[in-house]
Chain A
Amino acid sequence: MISYEFLTTQKIEEALNYLDKFSKVHILAGGTDLLVNLYKESPRLPDFDYLLDISNIPELKIINSINKFIEIGPLVTHSRLINEPLIKNNFPVLMEAAYTIGSTQIRNRGTIGGNIVNASPAADLLPPLIALRAEVELTSRKGKRVLPLEEFLAGPYKTKLQANELLTKIKIPLLSDNYYTDFQKIGRRKALSIARLSLALVTKIDEEGIFQDTRVVPGSATPYPQSLPVTEEAINGISIFQINLEEIGKITSNEMVSITGERWSTPYKKPTIAVLIKRALERIIKEAKTNE
C-alpha cells in the first residue's frame, strides 16, 4: 500500500522549503502521469512519504517573451500551448506536438513540466523542445541552475533533477528569420509501442536555399528522445533544390539503428522513420519555395 502525507502550496518559496526540509517528497502537477502510476501502484513510482502539490502556484503558469527567449512556466498545460499566440507565432512545432497529446481532458490538465520530468520515451513535447534547443531552469533553496534540456534527460524515465529541486522554467531561444519547423507523428500513445513514432525537424534555409543548423529529433525511436547528429550533418550544406530525400531517409534509419541496435521492432521502425524525415523535409521545402 502506498501511503503519504499531502502538501499543497501557492508559493514557490514554500514548495522549495518543503523540498529542503523533508526527504522523500514527490511532486504533483497536473497528475496525468502520476495519478495513473498511483492507481496502478506502478513499480516506476519511487518510494515517497510526502506528495507536494504544486498545481496552484500562479508564478509557474506564466508565458513570457524576455531577451530573445520565450519563457514557459512548467505548469502551462498542453491546451494553453495550443492556444497561446506567443507559442503559435514563434514555435508552431511545439503547438502541433501538443495538439497530438491524449484527449481534450488530458490536454486541459497535463503540463509541459510534467511531460519533461516524466521523461517517457514517447513524451510528445520532448522532440520539438530538444530541436528548439530548450533549456530548463532548476531551482532549490540553494539557488538556480540552467541546463540544456537534452543534457537534463538522463535515460528512459530519468532526469538529472535533484531531490531538492523544482523545475521552474523552460526557456526557448527565439528562432531568427529563415527557420522552418515541422512535427510528424504516427500512432497514438496507447497504440502498441511498435506503431508509435514521431519526429521534430527544425532547420534554417538561407537565401541560396541551403540547409543550415538542422536539428532532427525522433520520439519513441530511441530509449529516450535525443538528436541525430549524423542526419543533421548530412542535411546541412545541401540545397533544397538538390537534396536526395531517399538518401537522407536511409541515413536517418541507419543512425536510429546505430543507437538502438537491431530489435524486434526494427523491421517496422527502420523504414517508417525514413518516411517521417522525408515528409518533414518535403513540407519544409514546399514552404520555403512558396516563401521565395
Chain B
Amino acid sequence: MSKVTVTFIVNGKEVTLKVGPKERLIDTLREQLKLTGTKEGCGIGECGACTVILDGKAVSSCLILTGQIGGSEVLTIEGLEVDGKLDSLQKAFIDCHAIQCGFCTPGMLMSAKALLIHNPHPNREEIKTALEGNLCRCTGYEQIIEAIESVAK
C-alpha cells in the first residue's frame, strides 16, 4: 500500500503530507497534525463529533479519505480562535452553559459555524436542521440551540 502526497490548507496554513490509502481526514488531523480538538465518536457518520468545515461546508471527517482533499481548505475547531480571541460562538457556548462533558462541543461548534457562514441569521428550525447530525448525550440540546440563537440574532 503506497502512500500518496496531498497538499491542502488547514486553518489558513498550507500543508503537504504523505498519507496512507486508508487514512481518513480525522486520522490526519489528530495523528499527523496533532489537532486533537476534533473528536472521533462513531466512525460511521452518525454522531457528528468529527465535524470539520471543508470548503465552506460541514462534513464528517471520519467519512473522507485525506487523499481525496488535495487543493481543499479545512477549518477545524482550532481555527475558530483568532489571535487568542475566542469566536463569538465559543463564547456563547460558555455563557449559555451549552457544554457539559464537552465531547460533542467541537463538532457542534463547527456545524454551527458552517451554518452562520452561509446564513448569519438562521431561525430555530434552521439551527436544528444544521445540528441534525450532531449527537449530545449530556445537554439535551436546548442550551446549545440557545447559544447559537444568541449569536445569530
Contacts and interface: CB of A to CB of B under 8 A. Distances in A.
Q: Is B truly associated with A?
A: yes
A265 interface: no
A51 B51 contact: no
B52 to A, nearest CB: 10
B63 A104 contact: no
A113 B44 CA distance: 20
Contact of A106 (B45, B67, B129): B45
Contact of B60 (A3, A38, A55, A105): A105
B63 A79 contact: no
A6 to B, nearest CB: 4
Interface residues of A, number: 28
A176 to B, nearest CB: 33
A39 interface: yes
Contacts of B48: 103, 105
A56 B72 CA distance: 10
Interface string B97-138: 000000000000001001000000000000001101110000
Contacts of A106: 45, 60, 133
A38 B133 contact: no
A215 to B, nearest CB: 29
B64 A104 contact: no
B68 interface: yes
A40 B43 CA distance: 9
Interface string A69-102: 0000000000100000000000000000000001
A44 interface: no
A22 interface: no
A60 B70 CA distance: 17
30 contacts: A2-B22, A3-B1, A5-B2, A6-B67, A8-B68, A28-B68, A31-B68, A32-B45, A32-B63, A35-B24, A35-B62, A35-B65, A39-B43, A39-B44, A40-B44, A51-B21, A51-B65, A55-B68, A56-B68, A79-B57, A103-B132, A104-B58, A104-B133, A105-B45, A105-B51, A105-B59, A105-B111, A105-B133, A106-B60, A109-B63
Interface of A: 2-6, 8, 28, 30-32, 35-36, 38-40, 51, 53, 55-56, 79, 102-106, 108-109, 190
